[in-house]
Amino acid sequence: MSIRLRFAPSPTGYLHVGGARTALFNWLLARHEGGAFVLRIEDTDRERSSDAHTQAILDGLAWLGLDLDEGPFFQSEGVERHAAQARRLLEEGKAYRDFSTPDELRVEAERQGIGHPSVLARRWAEEMGDEESDRRAGAGDPFAIRLRIPAGQTRWEDLVHGPMSFDNHDIDDFVILRADGSPVYNLAVVSDDAEQRIDTVIRGDDHISNTPKQILLYEAFGWDVPRFGHVPMILGPDGKRLSKRHGATAVEEYAGQGILPDAMVNFLALLGWNPGDEEEVMSRARLVERFSMERVNHTSAVFDTEKLGWMNGRYLAAMPAGDVVPLFVEALEADGWGGDAWSDREDGWLLELVALLKVRARSVNEMVEQARPFLGEVETYEESASAKQFEKDPAGTAERLATLAAAFAEAPEWDEEDLEEILREVAASLEIGAGKMIHPLRLAVTGRGISPGIFDVLVLLGREETLARVANACKHLSRLGDGDVS
Ligand code: GLU
């Protein structure tokens, strides 16, 4: 029988990167083993759950490309079954009624110096006897149902942590059905996992303490216990649990920042898993091929946004420019640019701009930032670059740029090779290094100290625009020379 895994988020918020990583590990294992990936929405907390959050989770999974084989199932739809199963354990004597209120139990346990109030609940149930218990239940007295925890040890072989063992003495006879008839979380999870024939449960480390209780429930029901694997927590770079303080924690925020889904998937896969060698940039197919629970780390993983940026840059650089164009245009529009910023340009101009920018940007949004000088006028010159390139010798710089511009004006072809040749000739005639021409030229035409290769920039700007920008820079330089820095 092939493996069946599930992702079981509670729809009480957006899809957090921790949840996304859990979903991904389940999905990778399902795809690696040719099994099924099931989604179950754990919406029993009616106050905190919402349809909007369910939709955000579905959207997040779709954006990441984690396709479902079954579901979404909704936990709230199984409440009748959960309750019926709790009553079944009661009938079989594996659970008992507790007619006390939680307060009563706590106060009395404290008075008697009993650490686990449930010890008292069990004692009261035994003292009451079945007959009286049935009579009170028949008379409509409200009661909770508690699982009778047997003596012994509860063990499992965790797929991440290896052998795990809990002394049952440390586990309360916990309530499985509340006095108001609502099932508790651990019962609902076990009942649903059994109903959906889940045989492997991969979830966060924060659920380890639930696992012995759930195993005891499986055993009480006489059902096969699934395999469990608890994946390590995700921490921020400061070693604290990942939270808003560390930046974006919602998957959709990363989408908004221009992160590509494939890069996000690759990055998340490496949060707590490693292939055992140096390979880092792995396609989805490659991840599916290599993923195994054996190589999931026991210790926490650190969410390093620098690395995510690096990873995204690698994916962006490798993508065909044509595929990046629509993403780029979308990001431009989100940034307030309209089509008129490029509509006058020749066909293919945008594609060339994208090809130039994508190899040096870490995200589509960073491309938008770097595209500004190509889309709009140069209005200001970056301060630190200006201090170096313009302010030291404004008059001399203006003169050299003017000489260069005059030579450019005569260029037979406006292409990289010709422009480079011209620049080198002019530099040689002025007896200066090419760098002494390139840096002020870059500042003149982009307003910045850093840009893609200068000759690529010039070609993309075109002759007219380049010459106009150099002329503007010369005017600015002459004002600087006159001591007017405005
Ligand atoms: N609903 C639980 C959560 O969001 C997960 C339950 C499970 O994976 O067993 O933390």
Q: Is 98 in the pocket of ligand 1 (CB under 6 A)?
A: no
Confidence label for 1 from pLDDT (cuts 50, 70 and 90)? low
Check 94, 213, 240, 244 and give the catalytic one.
244
> What pLDDT score does 468 carry?
98
Q: Please tell me whether residues 387 and 450 are part of one structural domain.
A: yes
Q: Is 42 in the pocket of ligand 1 (CB under 6 A)?
A: yes
> What pLDDT score does 441 carry?
98
- Each residue of 116-153: pLDDT tens digit? 889 999 999 999 999 999 999 999 999 999 999 999 99
**Residue 439 neighbours by CB distance under 10 Å:** 17
H helices of 38-183, in order, are 51-64, 79-91, 102-111, 117-138
Do 58 and 67 meet the contact criterion of CB atoms below 8 Å apart? no
What's the whole-number mean pLDDT along residues 225-247? 91
Rounded-to-integer distance, Cα 88 and Cα 94, Å: 9
Rounded-to-integer distance, Cα 118 and Cα 126, Å: 12
Q: Please tell me whether residues 388 and 477 are part of one structural domain.
A: yes
Q: Is 21 in the pocket of ligand 1 (CB under 6 A)?
A: no
Do 63 and 261 meet the contact criterion of CB atoms below 8 Å apart? yes
Ligand 1 probe mutation, 203, 206, 210, 215, most atoms within 8 A of CB: 203
Q: Is 10 in the pocket of ligand 1 (CB under 6 A)?
A: yes
- What 3-state DSSP class applies to 447? coil
Q: Please tell me whether residues 204 and 285 are part of one structural domain.
A: no
Identify the CATH number of the domain in which residue 45 sits: 3.40.50.620
Q: Cα 60 from chain centroid?
A: 9
> What pLDDT score does 127 carry?
96
Do 407 and 426 meet the contact criterion of CB atoms below 8 Å apart? yes
Q: How many A from CA of 155 to the centre of ligand 1?
A: 20
* Average pLDDT of the residues of the chain: 95
Closest ligand 1 atom, residue 9 Cα: 4
Q: Please tell me whether residues 100 and 54 are part of one structural domain.
A: no
Q: Please tell me whether residues 69 and 86 are part of one structural domain.
A: no
| CA-CA-CA-CA torsion sign (350, 356, 359, 361) | negative
Residue 420, pLDDT > 90, answer: yes
Confidence label for 485 from pLDDT (cuts 50, 70 and 90)? low
> What pLDDT score does 356 carry?
96
Rounded-to-integer distance, Cα 219 and Cα 398, Å: 85
Q: How many A from CA of 294 to the centre of ligand 1?
A: 22
Residue ending a domain, among 347, 375, 403, is: 375
Residue 182 lies inside a defined structural domain of this protein: no
Q: Please tell me whether residues 391 and 476 are part of one structural domain.
A: yes
Q: Please tell me whether residues 293 and 340 are part of one structural domain.
A: no
Q: Please tell me whether residues 227 and 251 are part of one structural domain.
A: no
Q: How many A from CA of 239 to the centre of ligand 1?
A: 23
What's the whole-number mean pLDDT along residues 251-261? 91
Q: Please tell me whether residues 54 and 202 are part of one structural domain.
A: yes
- Each residue of 32-53: pLDDT tens digit? 999 999 999 999 888 888 999 9
pTM summary value: 0.89
Closest ligand 1 atom, residue 19 Cα: 4
Q: Please tell me whether residues 273 and 357 are part of one structural domain.
A: no
Residue (of 37, 35, 36, 45) closest to 75 by Cα position: 45
Burial group, residue 111, by CB count within 10 angstroms (0-12, 13-18, 19+): exposed
- Helix H, strand E, coil C: the string for 155-205 is EEEECCCEEEEEEHHHCCCCEEECCCCCECHHHHHHHHHHHCCCCEEEEEH
Residue 355 lies inside a defined structural domain of this protein: yes
Residue 159 lies inside a defined structural domain of this protein: yes
* Bridge partners, 98 (sequence order): 144
Q: Please tell me whether residues 395 and 472 are part of one structural domain.
A: yes
Is 244 considered catalytic here? yes
Q: How many A from CA of 8 to the centre of ligand 1?
A: 5
Q: Which of 188-202, 234-248, 353-367, 422-436 has the lowest mean pLDDT?
A: 234-248
- b/e string for 388-402 if b means 16 or more Cβ within 10 A? ebbbeebeebbebbb
Q: How many A from CA of 177 to the centre of ligand 1?
A: 19
Q: How many A from CA of 10 to the centre of ligand 1?
A: 7
Do 344 and 376 meet the contact criterion of CB atoms below 8 Å apart? no
Rounded-to-integer distance, Cα 93 and Cα 145, Å: 11
Rounded-to-integer distance, Cα 290 and Cα 29, Å: 10
Confidence label for 484 from pLDDT (cuts 50, 70 and 90)? low
Do 356 and 382 meet the contact criterion of CB atoms below 8 Å apart? no
Percent of the chain with pLDDT over 70: 99
- Each residue of 335-346: pLDDT tens digit? 999 888 888 888
Backbone angles phi, psi at 98, to 5 degrees: -125, 110
Identify the CATH number of the domain in which residue 279 sits: 1.10.1160.10
What's the whole-number mean pLDDT along residues 157-162? 97
Structural domain boundaries enclosing 193: 4-73+187-231
Residue (of 304, 375, 298, 380) closest to 344 by Cα position: 375
Percent of the chain with pLDDT over 90: 89
Number of domains present in the structure of the chain: 5
Ligand 1 probe mutation, 42, 45, 211, most atoms within 8 A of CB: 42
Burial group, residue 179, by CB count within 10 angstroms (0-12, 13-18, 19+): middle
What's the whole-number mean pLDDT along residues 90-100? 97
Q: Is 189 in the pocket of ligand 1 (CB under 6 A)?
A: yes
Burial group, residue 341, by CB count within 10 angstroms (0-12, 13-18, 19+): middle
> What pLDDT score does 73 carry?
98
Rounded-to-integer distance, Cα 270 and Cα 74, Å: 30
Residue 457 lies inside a defined structural domain of this protein: yes
Residue ending a domain, among 294, 312, 330, is: 312
> What pLDDT score does 49 carry?
86
Residue ending a domain, among 272, 294, 312, is: 312
Rounded-to-integer distance, Cα 478 and Cα 404, Å: 16
> What pLDDT score does 71 carry?
95
Residue 421 lies inside a defined structural domain of this protein: yes
> What pLDDT score does 342 carry?
85
Residue 197 lies inside a defined structural domain of this protein: yes
Residue 282 lies inside a defined structural domain of this protein: yes
Residue 261, pLDDT > 60, answer: yes
Closest ligand 1 atom, residue 210 Cα: 9
Identify the CATH number of the domain in which residue 418 sits: 1.10.10.350
Q: Please tell me whether residues 31 and 89 are part of one structural domain.
A: no
Q: Is 366 in the pocket of ligand 1 (CB under 6 A)?
A: no
**Atom 6 (ligand 1) nearest CA:** 8
Q: Is 203 in the pocket of ligand 1 (CB under 6 A)?
A: yes
Q: Is 196 in the pocket of ligand 1 (CB under 6 A)?
A: no
CA distances 465 to 145, 236, 460, Å, are 79, 46, 9
Q: How many A from CA of 202 to the centre of ligand 1?
A: 10
Residue 236 lies inside a defined structural domain of this protein: no
